[in-house]
Structure 1
Amino acid sequence: MATTHLLRVKSALFVHARRPARSLLEGEYASLFHGRSLDYDDLRGYVPGDEVRDIDWKATARHDAPLVKRYVATRKHHLLLVADTGRGMAATAPSGEPKKDVAILAAGLLGYLALRHGDLVGLVRGTAEHTEAHELRGTEGHLEVLLRAIDAATDLEGEQSDVAAQLQWVVRHVRRRTILLVLADDRDLGPELEALLRRLRAQHEILWLTVEDADPTLVPAAVGTYDVADGYALPAEVRLDPRVREAYSAERVRRVEATATLLARLGIAHGRVASAEGVVPAVLALLERQRHAR
């Protein structure tokens, strides 16, 4: 029987949890998506680890010890995986793996952690021309269906990538406050996308993960390469030219910095991942940035 995507996710978590550098992942992120409703509940004594902003200073002034406010917590969060399944995500990652395999593992990891804490997971996937939505549910079987949908839809013969189309769908159809995990191709974020993100950021919480492209100037001459966006072959004598390599490297640095600057300005936690092996550390770092941003 074929290995399921969710089994790969659990295996990656197990391997990472056994490394001495970190304790068990679920232990470190026992509450994956922190949140509170506006419903005040009561006061209790301060304990180490409580947020300083939760201290009720007026009540504390009347007592010998600090007191913190407690709120009625929202029981279920909605996690919506927003996946680019255009042919750009069927290209090769720096590790030599298909980029879609890296994206599926990242989606499965965050989805699995959400399910472990009782949250619901859904999916919006598509290309520049078509967008498909899958409902929110809270079971591992449903998450496996979502991951298989990403896998089946992402093909080198598919349509062009444009995650802006999927984000536009979210703007039009998702009304409830939702956590969005955007799995994006490695490309410039233009003015249209910036405007979309500004609208979405006002209502939703956004996590952005870019799946990196392989560097064609580092691929051996014997290996044929082509641009999946337009199908043009990249001759070895051109892409291995030192001047081309230098120009490509400079352009990549510019694109990475521009993307990071834009997302930081919008208050969106973001990260980059180049391999399946790097997914767990990348997602951990992404969640840590999200936590500090709050």
Structure 2
Amino acid sequence: MPSLLRRVKSKMFIFAHRRTLTLLDGEYGSVFKGRSLDFDELRAYVPGDEVRDIDWKATARHGSPLVKRYVAVRRHSVLLLVDTGRTMAAQALSGESKKDIAVHAAGVLGYLACRHGDDVGLLHGNADTSRYLPPRSGEENLERLLREVEASVALDGPPSSLAEQIDYVLRYLKGRLLIVAVADGFMPDPRTEALMRKLRARHEVLWLTIQDADLAPGADSSPHSTDVGTGQDIPAALAADSKIRAAYAQAMIDREEQRSGIFRRLGIAEQQTTGSEDVLPAVFTLLEKHRSGTPNARGAAGGGKRAG
């Protein structure tokens, strides 16, 4: 059986020069530089401390700024939080399956972690179930995680619901983690947004979004498209209508502005990728945003369509 991790590595070296990979390594390392993932105590703020380390609730109670201190640890735990509901069987903007892009993105992020000696785990699932594979070291473990993601996405599977996976983290996983979510451009409902806020308060959170396919079918496509999330067909005549396409494009712009606002309010760095060819630059930008405290990115997102 071909190795998924070997495929990821091959694409990394095809799509990137050695200097790019070195920069990517450095950006990953900078996420942890001078910071630990285990909370130790609170102390008074002094000039030069990271603003994001301020504990605002404790500050309000104390009357003066307090920052969180962390215990130095040599090995960190990275959790890949991957949506494996049926919307991930949909087509991405590049024409690839979102599942394939998710496997590639998880592989890139996991490989970076392995190179830095960090443990990598996986939490994935859908509206019906969540499955957790605890962080472990090594490429053999990463290969197992990638195969788990690949085998868990199906068009006839349960719908996506990242709220269930986030709730699982909050209920059952102890200790501070670096969590990298890989999902499509879903719109968080109030419950999901509240859970994301709690997740951000307890863990380091980065978010990689796989952009949805365009509405209009191409000249060589089948006579209709299917919304994977709802199972409803979108007739080609409607999808190709210029007025409908324009209205859809504007609705997606409005939706993305609203969605970006959510990530901005939550303080979660988010970056979007159109396909496997731009996963590397997307991951680099995501790490850079997280390090610099820039929470979100602009771009198109949609609701899980697939040519059918």
Q: Same fold (TM over 0.5)?
A: yes
Q: Deviations over 1:213-255 (max 9, x none)?
A: 1012243374231111122221111111112101111111122
Equivalence for 2:27: 29
Structure 1 letter corresponding to 2:26: E
Equivalence for 2:100: 101
Task: Provide the C-alpha distance between the structure 2 equivalents of 1:194 and 1:124, rounded to a whole number of angstroms.
Answer: 18
Q: Which has the larger radius of gyration?
A: 1
Contact 1:217 1:244 in 2 (8 A): no
Q: Secondary structure at the match of 2:132?
A: strand
Residues 280/30 of structure 1: CA separation in 2 closer, same or farther (3 Å cut): closer
Task: Provide the C-alpha distance between the structure 2 equivalents of 1:29 and 1:5, rounded to a whole number of angstroms.
Answer: 24
Equivalence for 1:186: 185
Structure 1 letter corresponding to 2:257: E
Kindly report the root-mean-square deviation, in angstroms, between the aligned alpha carbons of the 2 structures. Answer: 2.3
Equivalence for 2:4: 5
Equivalence for 1:60: none
Equivalence for 1:160: 159
Equivalence for 2:264: 264
Structure 1 letter corresponding to 2:114: L
Task: Provide the C-alpha distance between the structure 2 equivalents of 1:72 and 1:86, rounded to a whole number of angstroms.
Answer: 37
Residues 30/248 of structure 1: CA separation in 2 closer, same or farther (3 Å cut): closer
Residues 30/100 of structure 1: CA separation in 2 closer, same or farther (3 Å cut): closer
Equivalence for 1:53: 48
Contact 1:17 1:25 in 2 (8 A): no
Residues 219/171 of structure 1: CA separation in 2 closer, same or farther (3 Å cut): farther
**Structure 2 residue 169 is matched with structure 1 residue 170:** yes
Equivalence for 1:249: 249
Task: Provide the C-alpha distance between the structure 2 equivalents of 1:128 and 1:245, rounded to a whole number of angstroms.
Answer: 31
Q: Deviations over 1:168-215 (max 9, x none)?
A: 111101120011111122221111111001111111010011111101
Between the two proteins, what is the percent identity of the paired residues? 43
Q: Deviations over 1:83-119 (max 9, x none)?
A: 1101100000111100011111111111110111111
- Scaled by the length of structure 2, the TM-score of the pair is 0.80
Task: Provide the C-alpha distance between the structure 2 equivalents of 1:249 and 1:10, rounded to a whole number of angstroms.
Answer: 35
Task: Provide the C-alpha distance between the structure 2 equivalents of 1:186 and 1:166, rounded to a whole number of angstroms.
Answer: 16
Task: Provide the C-alpha distance between the structure 2 equivalents of 1:221 and 1:147, rounded to a whole number of angstroms.
Answer: 32
Residues 284/249 of structure 1: CA separation in 2 closer, same or farther (3 Å cut): same
Task: Provide the C-alpha distance between the structure 2 equivalents of 1:7 and 1:96, rounded to a whole number of angstroms.
Answer: 22
Unaligned runs of 5+ in 2: 41-46, 51-69, 295-308
Give how far 1:258 is off.
1.5
Equivalence for 1:122: 121
Q: Deviations over 1:34-88 (max 9, x none)?
A: 142478xxxxxxxxxxxx9279xxxxxxxxxxxxxxx974211111111110110
- Scaled by the length of structure 1, the TM-score of the pair is 0.84
Contact 2:217 2:225 in 1 (8 A): no
Equivalence for 1:227: 227
Structure 2 letter corresponding to 1:133: Y
Contact 2:271 2:282 in 1 (8 A): yes
Stretches of 4+ aligned residues off by more than 4 angstroms? none
Give how far 1:293 is off.
1.1
